[in-house]
Structure 1
């Protein structure tokens, strides 16, 4: 399984507060593992080709790329976030 952050920013809503988001592309999973993750995740998911796309919404204070330090070392913060998401998804798959 390989997890990559491929998009992040602010998602605007007309009837509620704006939220930050991170989109992850998860590749290298077979269809059974993709299905298990889609069933277990509360986040928005979609399958595009062989990849599982996960969109996680964050309130501003919890957004992993929102700090001043993140803006200076964004590649480090993205790499850490990819590792953390890989561990989290692996734990969901091991739960069965």
Structure 2
């Protein structure tokens, strides 16, 4: 599984991060799409997942994140990969 952050920021008063998930079987993609509570869509053999965060939990809010954004993006991608992998274990 490959997880990439394709967008992040603020929309209105909500902070969001949009992930693209690649390298899964169609059954796995459908399982995630059907069972995750977050906003999801299926597009050309990949899943788009958008998570909304309160200001205090938003991963890119700190000054350090703004300076070392690549490190923060890589960490978020790894954390989402671990989360989705554990979620798929229930499949």
TM-score normalized with structure 2 length: 0.96
Unaligned 5+ runs, structure 2: none
1:43-72 residue CA offsets vs partner (Å, 9 max, x unmatched)? 000011111000000011110011111001
Matches within 5 A, 1:72-83: 72-83=67-78
Radius of gyration: which is bigger? Answer: 1
Q: Is the 8 A contact 1:40 1:92 kept in 2?
A: no
2:81 to 76, 81, 86: 86
When the two structures are aligned, how many residues end up with a matched partner? 91
With the length of structure 1 as denominator, give the TM-score of the two structures.
0.91
Structure 1 stretches of 4+ with a deviation exceeding 6 A read none
Equivalent residue, structure 1, for 2:29: 34
Q: Residue 68 of structure 1 is aligned with which of 55, 58, 63?
A: 63
Let me know the Cα RMSD of the aligned residues: 0.7
